[in-house]
Amino acid sequence: MLREKGVHFLAIEGAIGVGKTSLAKIIAERWNAMFIEENFEENPFLEKFYQNKQAYAFQTQLFFLLDRLKQLQHSALQSDLFHDLLVSDFTYDKDQIFAAQNLSESEYAMYDQVAKALNHDIPRPDLVVYLQASVPTLLKRIHGRGRTMEKTIEGSYLSGLMDRFDRHFWNYPYAPVLIINTDNIDFVHNENHLQLVLDAIASCPKQTTYFVPEGK
């Protein structure tokens, strides 16, 4: 379906709790895609970061940067004839959003040097789906999934993060971006809502496109 329109690698993006992994898994199952899932649970610094952001931000971001690069490069090599499509729940570049949000000026300068040194031969998506939601919606979804380490996430932190996500994906240079506002839909539990989202993705926009589905 997507490959016929030139999309071999689809990335689902968005802030914490927006539903990107859920949607990516659904797409992988329905469209017979190879799924690349972010290994956030393997980051040994993440739980400590939520307890003390200032002390563990740099280690957390550096681990994510290197791990995302390794995942994408490995998956690109492992894609096979049984899958016409790769779908991931992250992009390599998203790490810069979190780094800018979480690191001090001196830490970010060092991080940026490492990121630039690695910024070559990186598999990048042909289409990005950026799932957008308001801070109250994100908080509701985060609390609903009940991850212990996320209990300390505050609305002010999410607000700053959302501003950075919006700026990043409105100006994403590597691929068209389909921005979907998810405040009024539940594509996990409502088939009609899901179909609206899948149809929008299947249209394969060639430029940044904003879509506000109305759930019924």
Residues annotated as catalytic are 89
DSSP state, 159?
Answer: H
Cβ-in-10-Å burial (0-12, 13-18, 19+) of 134 comes to: middle
Helix (H, G, I), strand (E, B) or coil at 138: helix
Amino acid at 151: K
Shortest CA distance to 72 belongs to which of 60, 87, 57? 87
DSSP state, 33?
Answer: P
DSSP state, 175?
Answer: S
Bridge partners, 179 (sequence order)? 130, 210
Q: How far apart are CA 77 and CA 81, in angstroms?
A: 12
Question: What is the number of other CB atoms lying within 10 angstroms of the CB of residue 123?
Answer: 21
Residue 83 · residue 33 · CB < 8 Å: yes
Residue 94 · residue 162 · CB < 8 Å: no
